[in-house]
Structure 1
Amino acid sequence: MIGKPRKIGKTIEDIEEGQSLSVTESIEDDRLLLYLGLTNDANPLYIQHDYAQTTEYQKPIVPSAMLMGIITSAISKHLPGPGSHVVNFSINFIEPVYHYETLTFDFEVIKVDKMKDVATISVEAINGPGDRVLDAVVMVKPPLAKIEESKE
């Protein structure tokens, strides 16, 4: 939609340490199959129950990159929001995530560097039973400026 004003996320001036966001996502088959199809990932650990039963996991797990995508999507949509760009991503996968789990991702701005125009956001994901399944630190360049609306 060229020419139409778009909502832009928070600039570095709008972001403060302590700002937070919580996002809940359910991992369903349709999303898993879409991810696997888009990435052409045929790892049997992600979809084949008979294979997964022979592993330490006992059932199919969610691809790590798919979980990273949920995090980057929340950053792009909400904090800082549209126009932002992830410049560094560090993640620790603590426990496997299984199909049909519901995860709550908690985001918190832990540092704002106005000189470098970068916000550092910590992320923690908890599954339904309350187990921490991952934690991450993401450095994000927020959008540089808001797009002004046309006066037409």
Structure 2
Amino acid sequence: MKDFEIGMSASYSQTITDADIKSFAGISGDNNPVHMSDEFAENSRFNRRIAHGLLSASFFSALFGTKLPGPGCVYVNQSLTFLKPVYIGDTVTAKITIKAIDTQKRRLYFETQCSVKGATVISGEAEIYIPKPNSH
């Protein structure tokens, strides 16, 4: 726990493709036509297909498990507010920043944000548990 400080952050960027949306729909079972059908989406308030919000939010999990705090951590809680749509071809940047540390409970608290072209599309907070290292 001593390796972590308030303000530490990590980020990840990925450009959303049609294949990503179709794969996520297959994994999640969410085949909402606003994600899957050009014809349906053209008549929606978005005017074209949008990516699943949880597809972009899943990048937080990637950051926690691989960068900060890293392998072995356990996702405890996540709040999400979806502010703007993400479209095919958008590059989403997910960023996590430590906002509080509870060494007694072995918890890190994060601000989480996804952005596209500098505009926030998802905001939230997360709580991550850090297991005690195995003693040999």
With normalisation by structure 2, the TM-score equals 0.92
Q: Following superposition of structure 1 onto structure 2, how do residues 1-152 of structure 1 map, counting pairs within 5 Å?
A: 12-128=1-117, 130-145=118-133
Aligned residue identity for 2:127? M
- Identify if the C-alpha distance between structure 1 residues 31 and 23 changes in structure 2 by more than 3 Å, giving closer, same or farther: same
How well do the aligned residues superpose, as a CA RMSD in angstroms?
1.6
Instruction: Give the gaps of 5 or more residues in structure 1.
Output: 1-11
TM-score normalised by L of structure 1: 0.83
Aligned-residue identity in percent: 24
Unmatched tracts of structure 2, length 5 or more: none
Is the contact made by 1:82 and 1:143 (CA closer than 8 Å) also made in structure 2?
no
1:72 partner SS: helix
Q: Which has the larger radius of gyration?
A: 1
Q: Distance in 1 between matches of 2:60 and 2:36?
A: 22
The runs of at least 4 aligned residues of structure 1 exceeding 3 Å deviation read: none
Residues matched between the structures, number: 136
Counterpart Cα distance in 2 of 1:94 and 1:147: 44
Q: Higher relative contact order at CA 8 Å, sep ≥6: structure 1 or structure 2?
A: 1
Following superposition, the deviation at residue 50 of structure 1 comes to: 0.5
Q: Which has the higher strand share?
A: 2
Following superposition, the deviation at residue 81 of structure 1 comes to 0.9
TM-aligned CA deviation for residue 30 of structure 1: 2.0
